[in-house]
Amino acid sequence: MNDLLNSLLAVASIPLDPGRRLFWVFILSALVLASVTVSLQQRGFKPGAQLAALFNRRYWFNRSTSVDYSLLTLNTGLRGLLLVPLFGSHLAGTIGVGSWLQSTFGDAPALALSPLTIAVAYTITFFIAEDLSRFGLHFAMHRNPLLWRIHRTHHSATTLTPITVHRVHPVEMGLYYLRGLLVFSVVSGSFVYLFRGQVSGLDILGVDLLGFLFNALGANLRHSPIFLSFGPLERLFISPAQHQLHHSSAAEHRDINFGTCLALWDRLAGSWRPGRREGALEFGLSATEHPSAIVDVDKAIGHPGPIPERV
């Protein structure tokens, strides 16, 4: 009973955590960007129509979103009750890497840099390492048949909402947690080691400005019906529109736009596609996919198992 209560409390606290995409500031900024985007596309601001669309029960409560909510609760509970106790926290990983570097290589050479320079260097290094590692794992999820059987749970969503970011198989959630823990620990621990006395593990935990800006600039619209393109900037950054093409069930959109923030990795891999839409997009698994992954997850979470709206 206590475990269930702790899981529910962890879910309820997500909007208060600035390190999560569903932080209330990011939700608010997404709403503003969505309103502006829709107004420009419809050549006029229609607040009544926008509010009606925002609070449409059929959008937020349907067969697809019920799985989103179930997996959000399940994965949040598993993360707090299993992964963190088993593998440790980000701070513990940072201290562990820093201690290992110290014991293996001794004292690092003295580097006299200003706190601002260190913060900028850390922010850029962590941002690039985080984004590249996300791309690499996401790319592998699509190209490896075994990993795809896990990842297609995410792609089985036929309605995209900001909650869909949590619609992942528990095994995939675990893999992404370990990826994030490894990247953070290595980058942060290295900076603590290199700038010992100038920065601590606690200090460095709060430096992720670029990630914060990414979430504030419409990251929650990636899983939404708001087709927000960045235009020419899409050659540098992945837009919500490009990610929606990634979720499209159309054959021509298969295996494109794997990136999270930077478009560089997709351009190098040949999987980059601009956010241009010639017609209405349909989301979900393609006609050749069997929805067994959805059924497997539903059994695990005690859900009766949705009938896919489009397979």
Sequence-ordered list of residues with C-beta below 8 angstroms from that of 109, at least 6 positions apart, any chain: none
Instruction: Give the model confidence (pLDDT) of 245-284 as tens digits.
Output: 999 999 999 999 999 999 999 999 999 999 988 788 999 9
In this structure, is residue 171 part of a structural domain? yes
How many domains, in total, are found in the chain? 1
Instruction: Give the model confidence (pLDDT) of 128-139 as tens digits.
Output: 999 999 999 999
In this structure, is residue 307 part of a structural domain? no
In this structure, is residue 14 part of a structural domain? yes
In this structure, is residue 121 part of a structural domain? yes
The pTM assigned to this predicted structure is 0.86
pLDDT at 35: 96
Exposure of 295 by Cβ count < 10 A (0-12 exposed, 13-18 middle, 19+ buried)?
middle
Domain hosting 221: range is 2-301
Instruction: Give the model confidence (pLDDT) of 165-217 as tens digits.
Output: 999 999 999 999 999 999 999 999 999 898 887 766 555 555 577 888 889 99
Instruction: Give the model confidence (pLDDT) of 80-114 as tens digits.
Output: 888 888 777 788 888 899 999 999 999 888 887 88
In this structure, is residue 306 part of a structural domain? no
Can you give the three-state secondary structure of 51-108, one letter per residue?
HHHHCCHHHHCCHHHHHHHHHHHHHHHHHHHHHHHHHCCHHHHHHHHHHHHHHHHCCC
**Residue 33 predicted with pLDDT over 70:** yes
Q: What percent of the chain has pLDDT over 90?
A: 63
pLDDT at 205: 56
In this structure, is residue 165 part of a structural domain? yes
In this structure, is residue 308 part of a structural domain? no
The predicted model gives 235-240 an average pLDDT of 97
